[in-house]
Amino acid sequence: MCLVGDFNIHLDDVTNKASADFLRMLASFGLTQHVKGSTHSAGHCLDVVITKSDSILHPSLKVLDHCISDHYTLSCQLSIQHPSTQSRKVTYQSIKRIDMDTMVKDVASHFTDYSFHQECILKYNKALGDILDTHAPLKTRVVPMRKACKWYDDSIRQANQKRRQCGCSLELKMKRSCEYSVLVTGNTLHDYLTC
């Protein structure tokens, strides 16, 4: 946690009741105010960089007077470390790349007997699995694991699903033999189909 900003409290004046109360409150919550010295042309410390006392951010501060404003420029560098990304292996089959004509021939050549009893159903399922493995072999790759974002809730998930569905229906329309034009406005698709 890092709080920054112009608090308009004369933090350098420990005789000021508001300043003393503010600094005492910070200490009671285990917080440290890192800005020392003047941050204002009137000679007071009004701007703050506050972190937890045991923070690993270790702010490195510079106060610069560029004569742009009555407040000085406060440059703050934080030592932020990215958490190491964890990964996991996933196994998948690239079904979209299957040559359907070849697969249909393979399925037809496997099944010449159409009697349906339990043994045939098991044979059927096994043969289809083998054919699928031939045309879309299992692949394994390592993908990064991401923590779930708290803001990514059901409403956003549904909106993304609707956007993808819109994209699929748009793609189908474009594959038709009709003339098709798309007008993109912001994040909204307006489509015009003329046959």
Helix (H, G, I), strand (E, B) or coil at 113: coil
- Residue whose structure tokens are 């993808």: 164
Q: How far is CA 73 from CA 47, 77, 79, 98, in A?
A: 10, 13, 20, 61
Q: What average pLDDT is seen over the chain?
A: 79
- Residue whose structure tokens are 């089959």: 93
pTM of the model: 0.43
Give the pLDDT band of residue 31 (cuts 50, 70, 90): very high
pLDDT in the model for residue 43: 85
Given a contact cutoff of 8 angstroms between Cβ atoms, the answer to whether 6 and 74 are in contact is: no
Contacts of 181 (CB under 8 A, 6+ apart): 191, 192, 194
Q: Region 151-170: what's the mean pLDDT?
A: 78
* Of 24-38, 135-149, 159-173, the least confident: 159-173
Give which of 34, 39, 32, 31 is closest to 8, Cα–Cα. 39
Q: Region 54-82: what's the mean pLDDT?
A: 81
Amino acid at 113: D
Q: How far is CA 3 from CA 49, 68, 70, 104, 169, in A?
A: 6, 23, 21, 64, 47
Considering the chain, what percentage of its residues have pLDDT values greater than 90? 5
Produce one character per residue of 109-146: b if its CB has 16 or more CB atoms within 10 Å, e if not: eeeeeeeeeeeeeeeeeeeeeebbeebbeeeeeeeeee
Q: Region 10-18: what's the mean pLDDT?
A: 87
Q: Region 81-86: what's the mean pLDDT?
A: 75
CB atoms within 10 A of CB 166: 13
What is the H or E stretch that residue 160 is in? helix 154-175
What is the rounded distance in angstroms from the CA atom of residue 131 to the CA atom of residue 102?
A: 10
Helix (H, G, I), strand (E, B) or coil at 117: coil
Across 84-93, 118-127, 184-193, the highest mean pLDDT is recorded for: 84-93
CB atoms within 10 A of CB 44: 18
Contacts of 71 (CB under 8 A, 6+ apart): 6, 39, 40, 41, 46, 47
